[in-house]
Amino acid sequence: MTAKKFYITTPLYYVNAKPHIGHAYTNVLCDAFSRFKRFQGQEVFFLTGTDEHGTKIEKIAREQGKEPVDFVDEMVPHFKKMWEVLDIRYDKFIRTTDEEHKKSVTAILQNLVKTGDIYQKTYSGWYCTPCESFWTELQLKEGKCPDCHREVQQLEEKNYFFKLSQHQAWLVKTIQEDKSFIQPEMRRNEILGFLREPLEDLCITRPKARLNWGIPFAPDPEFVVYVWFDALINYVSAIGYPENKTLFDALWPADVHMVGKDILRQHAVYWPIMLKAMGLGRPRTILAHGWWMMSGTKVSKSRGNAVDPLELVRKYSVDAFRYFLMNEVTLGSDGTFSEDLLAERYTTQLANDLGNLWFRYASMLDKYFGGLVPDVAPERLDATELYRRSLCLYEAAAAAVAVFDPRLALDKIFAVITLANQFVENQKPWALAKDPARKPDLELTLAVLGECNAHVACILQAFLPVCAKAMLERMGLPAWMPMVSNENFSKSFLRPGVRITRGEPLFPKLEDLKPQAE
């Protein structure tokens, strides 16, 4: 039997505004994990897409004098463009307006009505329009929505409900038994805390009279499907459930649903129960990241403090932007975005540490050996600490990725880069070059630096794909170098006599940077 493919998903983004740094963050994380798994020789399926139904979208379309269907068609290209600019290699882009998805939602709902998991009742309570959520009097905070703190309206209406409570005990037990199910631990505890109270059944329809822009609720034409119930189903509809199950069988259960901390409840409570009711297995891991903040508030379009990732990429390069997002915060915590900080990291870590290491190596190789890799006995390489440390990078990065910690992986890689720059200072190749008797030492120094650069480039493929590819190519190595095991990685990559091309600086000085054309 072939190994199951690694299936990773992002949330589906609401198309009411263009994507911002928070959305870019999720996709960059998923992309880095996907690339790392591919690098390790695993087959990957990476799903992203857009959430296009619901009151929020209908309202903004109407405000702009457009039909929702036209509005969403205009918005989706902004997301696709963003992923292209950020070099996000997804396998499928799903839209909740796709016919296939709508068919899947309809079939699933019809079945859940049949099994008795969905029933009708009259509900009266408070309703938050921006969150599309019902709240009881007790749940309100100072009379406002407990999630977004906005005004709520009193509502009384007939609707269809999905039974949650019958699977509550199962869910609690599952979360308690499998520590990797909901991560990080802080969020797992939050969900267990939420599950201490009895679950209220979930209202999964909206009357057509109030909301037209949704998937028709097939069992009763007076209603459309609640946007969250519609959207969550994408994770299975995108891979052919229930009609065309070949891909589904190869991919389900999902390995990782990456989400922001604000949408964890829908993913960690409603979604596993929906799957249970459908007779399907739960996802292996639901991973919640924190928020990007600016001036103490969450970055969001509606608050008007959004920074445009496209601008940042044009100014600093796609690798620099990706590096900043992954390196600045530990996955799970909130981070503060500031362009000054991005510029500082660019200069210190990317230009001065990594860029400089490459430049020094390639320039000295040119100067002392005409750009050709020197021939050095393997035992002499083995005896050098920097060489041994470079060969350990696979193990270190794989261990960090296995616990979803890209920041730790980058830390380990950059520690070797720092060590390599110190190695240059200590070895002083420029002094060795003056003494013909020390030629073997000069050869060893440059051979070690070459291997260090090659291994750094190889392991950076998942994190700084553009820079890694450039370095590999300049060293005459394949532009994509997967490594199925540590064994493949922990050996020399460069053949003696191969010519290395120095090329342009990998991360030019900021004052020399011309914004890149789109």
- Applying CB under 6 A, which residues contact ligand MSP? 11-14, 22-23, 25-26, 51, 231-232, 234, 259-260, 262-263, 291-292, 298-300
| Residue 100 vs 262, nearer CB to ligand MSP | 262
Task: State the nearest-atom distance from the C-beta of 132 to ligand MSP, in Å.
Answer: 10
Task: State the nearest-atom distance from the C-beta of 11 to ligand MSP, in Å.
Answer: 4
Task: State the nearest-atom distance from the C-beta of 335 to ligand MSP, in Å.
Answer: 8
Decide: 466 and 460 in contact? Cβ < 8 Å. no
| Angle at which helices 55-63 and 68-85 cross, to 10° | 100
| Residue 262 vs 441, nearer CB to ligand MSP | 262
Task: State the nearest-atom distance from the C-beta of 315 to ligand MSP, in Å.
Answer: 20
What the block records as the tokens of 261 is 């901390």
Quote the CA–CA distance of 222 and 219 in Å, as a whole number.
9
Quote the CA–CA distance of 486 and 393 in Å, as a whole number.
9
Give the largest Cα separation in the chain, rounded. 92
Q: Which residues contact 161 (CB under 8 A, 6 or more apart)?
A: 118, 119, 120, 121, 123, 201, 202, 203, 204
Quote the CA–CA distance of 147 and 413 in Å, as a whole number.
39
Task: State the nearest-atom distance from the C-beta of 298 to ligand MSP, in Å.
Answer: 4
Q: Which residue, judged by CB position, is nearest to ligand MSP in the bound state?
A: 260
| Residue 81 vs 298, nearer CB to ligand MSP | 298
Task: State the nearest-atom distance from the C-beta of 359 to ligand MSP, in Å.
Answer: 35
Task: State the nearest-atom distance from the C-beta of 311 to ligand MSP, in Å.
Answer: 17
Quote the CA–CA distance of 416 and 206 in Å, as a whole number.
56
| Residue 294 vs 498, nearer CB to ligand MSP | 294
Quote the CA–CA distance of 355 and 349 in Å, as a whole number.
8
| Residue 37 vs 95, nearer CB to ligand MSP | 95
How many of the other CB atoms lie within 10 Å of CB of 350?
24
| Residue 49 vs 450, nearer CB to ligand MSP | 49
Q: Which residues contact 114 (CB under 8 A, 6 or more apart)?
A: none
What the block records as the tokens of 100 is 């296939």
| Residue 231 vs 312, nearer CB to ligand MSP | 231
Quote the CA–CA distance of 171 and 2 in Å, as a whole number.
30
At residue 395, what is the residue type? E
Task: State the nearest-atom distance from the C-beta of 72 to ligand MSP, in Å.
Answer: 13
Decide: 259 and 332 in contact? Cβ < 8 Å. no
At residue 6, what is the residue type? F
Task: State the nearest-atom distance from the C-beta of 55 to ligand MSP, in Å.
Answer: 13
| Residue 260 vs 309, nearer CB to ligand MSP | 260
| Residue 145 vs 444, nearer CB to ligand MSP | 145
3-state SS, residue 361: helix
Decide: 307 and 339 in contact? Cβ < 8 Å. yes
Task: State the nearest-atom distance from the C-beta of 2 to ligand MSP, in Å.
Answer: 29
Quote the CA–CA distance of 428 and 99 in Å, as a whole number.
65
Task: State the nearest-atom distance from the C-beta of 266 to ligand MSP, in Å.
Answer: 7
Q: Count how many residues are written for the chain.
A: 518
Task: State the nearest-atom distance from the C-beta of 13 to ligand MSP, in Å.
Answer: 4
| Residue 241 vs 394, nearer CB to ligand MSP | 241
Q: Which residues contact 190 (CB under 8 A, 6 or more apart)?
A: 264
| Residue 30 vs 396, nearer CB to ligand MSP | 30
Quote the CA–CA distance of 232 and 271 in Å, as a whole number.
7
At residue 227, what is the residue type? V
Task: State the nearest-atom distance from the C-beta of 28 to ligand MSP, in Å.
Answer: 11
| Residue 298 vs 499, nearer CB to ligand MSP | 298
Nearest alpha-carbon partner for 386 in 455, 291, 320: 455
For residue 184, say if its preceding peptide bond is cis, omega within 30 degrees of 0. yes
| Residue 333 vs 421, nearer CB to ligand MSP | 333
| Angle at which helices 318-328 and 465-474 cross, to 10° | 120
Decide: 457 and 384 in contact? Cβ < 8 Å. no
